[in-house]
Amino acid sequence: MSNHRYETELRSEQEHVAGLYARLDGERVRARREYQAALGDNGESPLERDVRVRSLGREVRRLDVADNGLCFGRLDAVSGEHSYLGRIGLFDQENDYEPVLLDWRAPAARAFYTATGATPEGMRRRRQFLTRGRAVLDFTDEVFGRPGADERGDAALLAAVNAPRGEGMRDIVATIQAEQDEIIRLDHPGVLVIEGGPGTGKTVVALHRVAYLLYTQRERMERHGVLVVGPNPAFLHHIGRVLPSLGESDVVFMTPGDLVPGRHVTAEDGAAGAKGSLKMLDVLGKAIADRQRLPRTPVPIGLGDVSVRIDAETAEWARDEARASGLPHNEARAVFVDIVTYVLTERAIARIGRGWLTRDDRESWEDLRRNLLGQLQGDDVFTATIDELWPGLTPESVLSGLYTCPERLAAAGADPALLRTDGEAWTVSDVPLLDELVDLLGRDPAVDKAAEGAAAQERKAAADYAAGVMDVLKLDREELDEDVLLTAENLLYAEDLAGHFTERDTRELAERAAADRDWTYRHVVVDEAQELSEMDWRVIMRRCPGRSFTVVGDLAQRRNAAGARSWGGMLDRYVPGRWVYRSLTVNYRTPAEIMAVAAALLAEFSPDVQPPDSVRACGVRPWSRQVSEDELAAAVEQFTRDEDAREGTCVVIGPPDVPGAVPPSETKGLEYDAVLIVDPGKILAEGPRGASDLYVALTRATQRLGVLHRDPLPPALHALAPLTPATDAT
């Protein structure tokens, strides 16, 4: 293309994209105006208004996120028609809502990602824009079917992967590759497993799949939302902007330590392997049963003028009946109490009525029973005994009581390694156990009764207030201040009197879902899924009864002893025949020079795994340098100082005794322009988990990798270039 023609077409594209932004601005004004209007009184029911307000709120947010990179490309068909593609869709409302900008998820946009010179799919050209803000700076064309044309197709991709990393993961709507697009649009209603080595884009593909599902199945999914489970808070922060940048906000982000509302657990412990096994189900059941006790000696209870006893035989009968009811522990307490009170009142009635009362006089017998039941309810000894024999339990009390008592651990058949001093020093592996106990224990009726009483008081206060407003309206209208009258009328008309004062949950879906343990999602994404234990999977499966999942992971990076050794081993129990497997084979992040080092390590600890092929080289060899104890701090500081002078991000990864270093586990799923690993031998010394951690650390860099070591370098890292004082590491 001649320079003159290029300049002409560039100006034309700039004008067209400017027109799209003008249309976007107009849509924003309209959406905000309608949103504000919906907040007022439109004669709608409260439910109708809530639905409308939330729908318009989502539309406002969708339009607000599209400013950067609104339009990123154009697709020209052989027929002469062409379409512009962007992160959201825009329509011409004056022309039968004809699309003027295709949403990247629309079926008509697929060829932008999948057409090639060999299979052009009826397309003649793919044009990709280089933009900054609202300006189109440049474009590149790939013309299908011409010799050598395919070579230009990677221009946008290489520009993206070579660009310096900023804060947070970026969306890839402009550079989705064909193998990624196939996975994103896969029509599978069950569980999709996406496995890929470091840098293959499996996480961002999974997030774009969520955006695609929300686009194609909006009505089915938006009422319940999507849950994304990631390994740690840093990872969730890293990926947290991808879906909002695509206009999707009905998404909840959690770590495994957040899955029980009110708990935000990040600590790990050495007993994770034992806690993650399904054997813990039996342990928890026995731990609860151990709290359902029999009295060592009979307990006397005074009823009227007689004394009756709660003995082991009575308690055992009550316990057997309560267990046989199939109810959770706290709910089965009512059965236990009913049996005990029946026995006590029967014995007391027989003594009190001796000589004058028989069972044939049912009315008198039951009247006396009701009187005795009232006495029992107020008897402190009876209440304390019931609490001792069948206590109301919480998940926390069961688990902490188990962890701090060797006798209880033994009675439950638990691993003695679970013993600890502080029973409530919760770790991530405790969370699925706490969640399991919620179901095993059930709700505490006493707590529910107190909550119902408080709610009844609030409703009464609301009704009293509404009645007061009605009394105000009965006054002479001329005696009322106009604003007061208008307010009262609006309240009564819009909310049907006292109904206005019934509290409605106005929180966004994501906030409501995150706070509700019983919330169920339409779709769940599980990232770094190889780390989840059998008990973790039980928690997550409860959150999605429809079993619609995108599971992302790499078995070669597993560090949790209780994690997955095969996908079928974890999933066949829940979705037999309903899960499919897809792999990503191209590494878009790690340059070939660095991947060669990581591949040598992988070959030692996981020789059956094929590392992904890097799509590029960076031209900088990764290096190693041995330093003394006294030299280490200065060498780390020099690396940080040198990298601060460059554009991009950097990280120091190493053991706890290295100032400023982070452990490899905290960098999973993250990426940096430059990485410095300190003492890889110490990381490897952690056993199989150590090899996985070092593999993770080696594959975080997108440009530069350096290694400092005080002890001799592990043989697996022989591919590193030794660095001497005279060698330039850059």
286 is in an annotated binding site: no
What's the pLDDT tens digit per position in 505-527?
A: 667 888 899 999 999 999 999 99
Distance CA 723, CA 729 (A): 7
**Identity of the highest mean pLDDT range in 19-23, 165-169, 487-491:** 19-23
DSSP string, 84-95: EEESS-EEETTT
pLDDT at 592: 93
145 is in an annotated binding site: no
pLDDT exceeds cutoff 80 at 323: yes
- Helix, strand, or coil here: 40? coil
Neighbours of 300 (CB within 10 A): 12
DSSP structure class, residue 51: H
Superfamily classification of domain 592-722: P-loop containing nucleotide triphosphate hydrolases (3.40.50.300)
168 is in an annotated binding site: no
199 is in an annotated binding site: yes
Q: How confident is the model at residue 495 (pLDDT cuts 50, 70, 90)?
A: very low
The backbone torsions φ and ψ at residue 348, rounded to the nearest 5 degrees and listed phi first, read -65, -40
What's the pLDDT tens digit per position in 559-599?
A: 888 999 999 999 999 999 999 999 998 888 899 999 999 99
Q: What percent of the chain has pLDDT over 90?
A: 59
What residues contact 100, with CB distance under 8 A and at least 6 apart? 20, 23, 84, 90, 91, 92
Residue of 114, 176, 180, 112 whose CA lies nearest to 584: 180
State how far the alpha carbon of 611 is from the alpha carbons of 196, 530, 596, 600, in Å.
9, 17, 9, 10
Residue bearing the bigger pLDDT, 286 or 688: 286
State how far the alpha carbon of 219 is from the alpha carbons of 190, 215, 222, 224, in Å.
18, 9, 6, 10
* Cβ atoms of 127 and 140 closer than 8 Å: yes
Distance CA 374, CA 304 (A): 11
| Token pair recorded at residue 316 | 């055992």
State how far the alpha carbon of 705 is from the alpha carbons of 180, 613, 660, in Å.
27, 18, 17
200 is in an annotated binding site: yes
Q: If 0-12 CB within 10 Å is exposed, 13-18 middle and 19+ buried, where does residue 79 land?
A: exposed
Q: Which helix (H) or strand (E) holds 523?
A: strand 523-526
Average pLDDT of the segment spanning 628-654: 93
pLDDT exceeds cutoff 70 at 115: yes
Q: Which helix (H) or strand (E) holds 12?
A: helix 3-39
pLDDT at 405: 97
pLDDT at 152: 40
pLDDT exceeds cutoff 50 at 493: no
pLDDT at 516: 94
pLDDT at 171: 66
Residue of 241, 62, 230, 68 whose CA lies nearest to 167: 241
Q: Where are the domains of the chain?
A: 3-163, 191-259+519-584, 592-722
What's the pLDDT tens digit per position in 421-436?
A: 999 999 999 999 999 9
Neighbours of 504 (CB within 10 A): 12
What's the pLDDT tens digit per position in 236-275?
A: 988 888 888 787 878 999 999 999 998 999 998 889 999 9
What's the pLDDT tens digit per position in 344-391?
A: 999 999 899 888 888 888 899 999 999 999 999 999 999 999 999 999
* Cβ atoms of 676 and 636 closer than 8 Å: yes
Distance CA 157, CA 614 (A): 13
197 is in an annotated binding site: yes
Q: How confident is the model at residue 468 (pLDDT cuts 50, 70, 90)?
A: low
Average pLDDT of the segment spanning 77-96: 90
687 is in an annotated binding site: no
pLDDT exceeds cutoff 60 at 189: yes
* Cβ atoms of 121 and 148 closer than 8 Å: no
What's the pLDDT tens digit per position in 660-670?
A: 899 998 998 89
275 is in an annotated binding site: no
Topology of domain 191-259+519-584, CATH: Rossmann fold (3.40.50)
Distance CA 723, CA 625 (A): 5
Amino acid, single-letter form, for residue 139: F
Residues in the chain: 730
Q: How confident is the model at residue 151 (pLDDT cuts 50, 70, 90)?
A: very low
What's the pLDDT tens digit per position in 473-483?
A: 555 545 545 55
Q: What percent of the chain has pLDDT over 70?
A: 86
Maximum CA pair distance of the chain? 119
pLDDT at 492: 42
Average pLDDT of the segment spanning 695-724: 91
pLDDT at 572: 96
Residue bearing the bigger pLDDT, 537 or 504: 537
pLDDT at 247: 76
Its pTM stands at: 0.80
Q: If 0-12 CB within 10 Å is exposed, 13-18 middle and 19+ buried, where does residue 115 land?
A: buried
Residue bearing the bigger pLDDT, 29 or 444: 29
pLDDT exceeds cutoff 50 at 326: yes
| Token pair recorded at residue 654 | 């190493």
Q: How confident is the model at residue 221 (pLDDT cuts 50, 70, 90)?
A: confident
What residues contact 71, with CB distance under 8 A and at least 6 apart? 17, 20, 84, 85, 86, 101, 129, 131
pLDDT at 562: 92
**Fold: same for 191-259+519-584 and 592-722:** yes
* Cβ atoms of 425 and 307 closer than 8 Å: no
- Helix, strand, or coil here: 400? helix
